[in-house]
Amino acid sequence: MGEKGLFINPTTKISLIKTLKLYSERKKRMAIKGRNPTASESRHMDKVSQLGCVVCYKQGFRFVPAEIHHTEGKTKEESHFKVLPLCYEHHRGGRGEEPISRHPWKRRFEKAYGTEEELLELVEELLGAQSQDWIRVWWNAYKTGCYWCYQER
């Protein structure tokens, strides 16, 4: 007679249990390939994502929430250090016209916003400037004796 239980589709008689099994097998096959990041790679990716979308930054918008885009995949050594912060629209949710997303329109994306290498350089500059700002803030707070009372002079 067939399987007993809840049926998703009465015409095909596929049970809920069988559907869940098929889904989990399909999900395993579709898993994103790559190695897990090391602790230092995770810290780097966290700092990069906190910068906000690099393309939006170039357009004058600051601190737009960002996802991580791996420029060289996730399997190569140190590939987790070569990442760009991109908002959902510029990473994978945009269209072929503005906003142009990196996936699947790489050529259009690079023509409009610059190559991934150029954007990586900008990210490194922003990370360097960010650390310099923190050093300056820390030093002035140290001199004044109070971080919260610090005002640039």
pLDDT of 111-151, one tens digit each?
A: 999 999 999 999 999 998 877 766 666 666 666 665 555 44
Note whether 53 and 104 are same-domain residues.
yes
* Model confidence pLDDT, tens digit, residues 116-126: 999 999 999 99
Per the structure, the complete domain to which residue 139 belongs is given by 41-144
* Model confidence pLDDT, tens digit, residues 3-25: 455 544 454 555 666 666 666 66
**52 in any annotated domain:** yes
Residues with Cβ within 8 Å of residue 56, at least 6 apart in sequence: 62, 64, 87, 90
Note whether 18 and 69 are same-domain residues.
no
pLDDT at 26 over 90: no
Note whether 97 and 122 are same-domain residues.
yes
Domain count along the chain:
2
Q: Where are the alpha helices (DSSP H) in 31-97?
A: 39-51, 54-58, 88
87 φ/ψ angles, rounded to the nearest 5 degrees: -70, 170
Note whether 3 and 60 are same-domain residues.
no
Pairing of strands 67-70, 83-86: antiparallel
Question: Is the pTM value of this prediction over 0.85?
Answer: no
